[in-house]
Amino acid sequence: MHYSANLLRSISATERKGFIESLSELEAATLLYDWRFWARENQLEPAGNWRHWLILAGRGFGKTRTGAEWVRMHAEAGTMRRIALIAPTIHDARTVMVEGESGLLAIAPPWARPTFEPSKKKLTWPNGAQAFLYSAEEPERLRGPQHDGAWCDELCAWRHAMPTWDMLQFGLRLGADPRTVVTTTPKPHTLLKMLMALEGAHITRGSTYDNLVNLAPTFASEVIRRYDGTRLGRQELMAEILEDVPGALWSRKILDDTRVAETPALARIVVGVDPPVSVGENADECGIVAAGLCTGDGAGDGLHEGHAFVLEDASAHGLSPLEWARRAVKLYHRLEADEIIVEINQGGALVTNLIAQVDSTVPTRGVHASRGKRTRAEPIAALYERGLVHHVGAFPKLEDQLSSYTGEGSKSPDRMDALVWALTHLMLGTRPQPRIRTL
């Protein structure tokens, strides 16, 4: 009989005890690292002639463990010698894919543990197989290196998704059968839809419920109870790909159709800030979004005269007032912006004074919301529909808010608010004389 963890759970306690007692010390140690024993069927590499294995599953399914075990299997067997590990950021690649609780170092048996060199962004197994860390923020890093396999984690959160994927494919030219595993919570993402339609794609679907036995009891009692049946729960738990929300001001198609990969010369750049009204775990996010304007004042390429470009979403949760002020000022300096536009409904002059405490040289304009969020957002959404606003790369969390906000519900769309303040100032307000620069 071929035993597995699931089979052991289904047999009697006597049979289970007999199996365990029959193991030698070496067999028990080996079994601990035997993925085929512990994995569920939908976590094992599929048979057949496929090129891309898409694991589309909800939170807690075990996507990271599945991807890491796939890499480990091929690295230890020597069937892949140079493997690309790609995450939304290089920090994610290291802390999740390599050093995380289900990452490559944690799952490795002592006798085949890879050596990790953080400064070189490289893992090396005892047999010489290697894996290299990359970020979807820097697609050009994949220009040149060659690989015979790749693990792409949280693809739907990649900022420069298509360029990163393209550069990866050009380098997958080693070995007889280079393959890719994609582990992600699915969203209506252009690249994901393209991959799902490929003839060489094998799709594995799963939900949070597949792995409840290995999740903390409080996760089931609190998180699932709160989100089960909701739109967010269907996406994050059940891994459903949800298209546009009826009544939302933005559509995914508009965001995708107007997206660009590069920024033209810009005449003016501002950082929009929507501060949270409180601090702590239950506080709203602080929206921090930078955008720039291409005008006819000697800046730009002519084609995009009068168009705005969303440059960065630096929003974050859990920031103290001084922390979000520092974050906004840092973005201002990095982009060589002209002004910070900050909502002052809550806090008044104290809000602008915070920024002055961090850097008194930063021009700051306080704006007051006299109309509702949806009313303020409608003119900006109309500019998108006219093709006058472009996202430089992708901003998954911001775009989730834009494509789901209908004006109903209690959740504050802080990223959207920051974007609206920045674009309102750039495109609908009175603007000072521009100064031309190229990013």
Query: What CATH number has the domain bearing residue 169?
Result: 3.40.50.300
CA 91 to the chain's CA centroid: 12
How confident is residue 331, by pLDDT bands cut at 50, 70 and 90? very high
Between residues 102 and 225, which one has the greater pLDDT? Answer: 102
Highest mean pLDDT of the ranges 85-89, 277-281, 354-358, 395-399: 85-89
Are residues 230 and 275 both part of a single domain? Answer: no
At 70-94, the pLDDT tens digits run 999 999 999 999 999 999 999 999 9
134-143, 216-225, 296-305: which has the minimum mean pLDDT?
296-305
Query: 434 in a domain, yes or no?
Result: no
- Last residue of some domain: 201, 236, 271? 236
Q: Has residue 229 got a pLDDT over 80?
A: no
pLDDT on residue 436? 46
Nearest to 238 by CA among 268, 270, 265, 205: 205
Q: Has residue 434 got a pLDDT over 50?
A: no
Domain range enclosing 92: 40-236
User: Measured between alpha carbons, how far is 342 from 346 in angstroms, rounded to an integer?
Assistant: 11
Query: 4 in a domain, yes or no?
Result: yes
Share of the chain above pLDDT 90, in %: 60
Mean pLDDT of 238-252: 82
Are residues 16 and 49 both part of a single domain? Answer: no
- The whole-model pTM stands at 0.74
| Residue environment code for 143-162, b if the CB has 16+ CB neighbours within 10 A, otherwise e | eeeebbbbbbbbbbbbbbbb
* Residue 144 one-letter amino acid: G
3-class DSSP assignment, residue 333 = helix
DSSP state of 297: S
Tokens of 25: 């010390």
Are residues 75 and 219 both part of a single domain? Answer: yes
pLDDT on residue 7? 67
CA dihedral 409, 414, 420, 425 (to 10 degrees): 140
Domain of residue 300, CATH code: 3.30.420.240
How confident is residue 194, by pLDDT bands cut at 50, 70 and 90? very high
Q: Has residue 430 got a pLDDT over 60?
A: no
61-70, 163-172, 280-289: which has the minimum mean pLDDT?
280-289
User: Measured between alpha carbons, how far is 414 from 168 in angstroms, rounded to an integer?
Assistant: 34
Query: 186 in a domain, yes or no?
Result: yes
User: Measured between alpha carbons, how far is 388 from 377 in angstroms, rounded to an integer?
Assistant: 15
Mean pLDDT of 132-159: 96
* Residue 360 one-letter amino acid: S
User: What's the domain count of the chain?
Assistant: 3
User: Measured between alpha carbons, how far is 242 from 235 in angstroms, rounded to an integer?
Assistant: 7
